[in-house]
Amino acid sequence: MRLRRIVFVTTAALAGVVLGLASLVGLVAGGGGFKGVPHAGWSYNPLAGSQGADPYTRLKVAVGGLLALDRSETIYFTTATDSTGAALRADCRYRITGGAMPVRWWSITLYDMGYLARNSDGAPSIDRTRAAPDAAGRWSAQLGGARPANGLWISSATATDVSLLLRFYNPDPAVVKDPTLAPMPVVTRETCTGGAS
Amino acid sequence: MKPLIRWGLLTLAIAATVHAMALFAGPTIIMSIAMKRIAGEAGVNRWAFAPRTTPETQRVVRSSPDLAYAACAWDVSKGPVRIRAAGAADYASLSLYGANTDNFFSLNDRTMGPDGAEIVLIAKGAATPAGIDPAKIVVAPSRRGLALDRRLAPTAEAFARADAARRAVNLCETLPKG
């Protein structure tokens, strides 16, 4: 009888711990209802860094973007897909194009599982100070595994799980209020060396 | 009640408790690890100036390679903490984070002015230290936390300038109580 009780409590405890942690990981890592607000192929979390963040947002930010700033100072947009919605791939070459953005300074950085890819080519990002606009006010950059002959480049050479993070530092007040007003860069796939997927 | 139903209810109760505990404790644990790492490098209430962020030097998830970072793991339990950050011609900011990761205070180069920023962080309920301008007082929501200094530094030259500026001016120090 006593043994049965021990087994009863122990198995319930083990199953409870696994279920409790798995459900949390599933909600936070998998997104669930906490994926952020979509905007033009990117997404942002309006409560990142905020004192008003709900516990799930707070945990998600702690895991994936520790020390994020409140959106009055910085808005963070992420994407892991191209303009067609297909997942970004390290064996593909993309063109990132954009125009003037209503912010004081912006940058786009490639992350591999949340960290800078272990590339030795010194091309982890582009930013406003390097993106010279053309006569029409447009700029473009290449995202891929090989350095282009000229122009801006973000290297995905050794990445396996590609995502991009667009930082908006000191966004205009209207964009702070409604980030979906911001015109966003477009990520267009050009070629792939591997098979289609 | 049938044993299987009792077992299911107990499992669900434990699952809910574990879920809630991990949810609320997770950010604090992650922040605590970051604070310990920074305090281990420079000590508590001292700035740690990070090298340029590269794949080899990155320490925190999603660090920017275009920014120069310095961090101070502050602790107001032994008294107020004076935090000073250098001004900058380009983007720079001083931001404070509580133990639960919330960003509860920020100044940037425009709001802090060309001479930079100086604030005095005090614990909740603590008296304003004598001789300190009340406008500089910031009440910490927790006993410990992090201050982060960010400076625009997309090139090696810009990083060198930012590093020199912050090392010349930045300060993070405990003040006597009262």
What are residue B38's phi and psi, to 5 degrees? Answer: -70, -45
Q: Note the pLDDT tens digit of each residue in A46-96.
A: 888 888 888 988 898 888 888 899 889 999 999 999 999 999 999 999 999
Q: Note the pLDDT tens digit of each residue in A133-160.
A: 999 999 999 999 999 999 999 999 999 9
Which of A68, A70, A105 is the closest to B152 by Cβ? A105
What gap in Å lies between CA B151 and CA B68, rounded to an integer?
A: 5
User: Among A38, A18, A32, which residue's Cα sits nearest to residue A60?
Assistant: A32
Is B107 part of a structural domain of the chain?
A: yes
| Residue B72: partners with Cβ closer than 8 Å, 6 or more residues away | B38, B42, B45, B46, B47, B48, B83, B146, B147, B149, B172
Res A195 pLDDT > 90: no
Is B89 part of a structural domain of the chain?
A: yes
Q: Output the pTM of the full model.
A: 0.90
Which of A12, A117, A170 is the closest to B14 by Cβ? A12
Tell me which residue has tokens 């502050």. B74
Is B23 part of a structural domain of the chain?
A: no
Domain A37-192 has CATH 2.60.120.600: yes
Give the pLDDT score at A31: 54
Domain with B70 in it: what CATH number?
2.60.40
Q: Note the pLDDT tens digit of each residue in A90-118.
A: 999 999 999 999 999 999 999 999 999 99
Contact B169, B92 (CB under 8 A): no
Q: How many CB pairs under 8 A join A and B?
A: 153
Is B27 part of a structural domain of the chain?
A: no
User: Among B43, B51, B34, B108, which residue's Cα sits nearest to residue B81?
Assistant: B43
Give the pLDDT score at A60: 87
What gap in Å lies between CA B116 and CA B84, rounded to an integer?
A: 7
CA distances, B77 to each of A38, A54, B14, B44 (Å): 42, 27, 35, 11
- Residue B58 gets which letter from DSSP? -
Give the pLDDT score at A33: 46
Mean pLDDT score, B20-44: 90
A77 SS3 class: strand
Which of B65, B91, B110 is the closest to A116 by Cβ? B65
What gap in Å lies between CA A97 and CA A184, rounded to an integer?
A: 9
User: Among B91, B84, B153, B63, which residue's Cα sits nearest to residue A68?
Assistant: B63
Chain B CB within 8 Å of residue A32 CB: no
- State the CB neighbour count (10 A cutoff) for residue A34: 16
Contact B102 A65 (CB under 8 A): no
Distance from CA of B169 to the nearest CA of A (A): 23
Q: Nearest residue of B to residue A58 by CA position?
A: B27
Mean pLDDT score, A174-178: 96
Window 61-100 of A: residues touching B by CB (8 A cutoff) are: 61-70, 72-73
Total structural domains within chain B = 1
- Domain range holding B149? 42-174
* Element holding A94 (H helix, E strand): strand A92-98
What gap in Å lies between CA A13 and CA B34, rounded to an integer?
A: 31
Mean pLDDT score, A164-172: 96
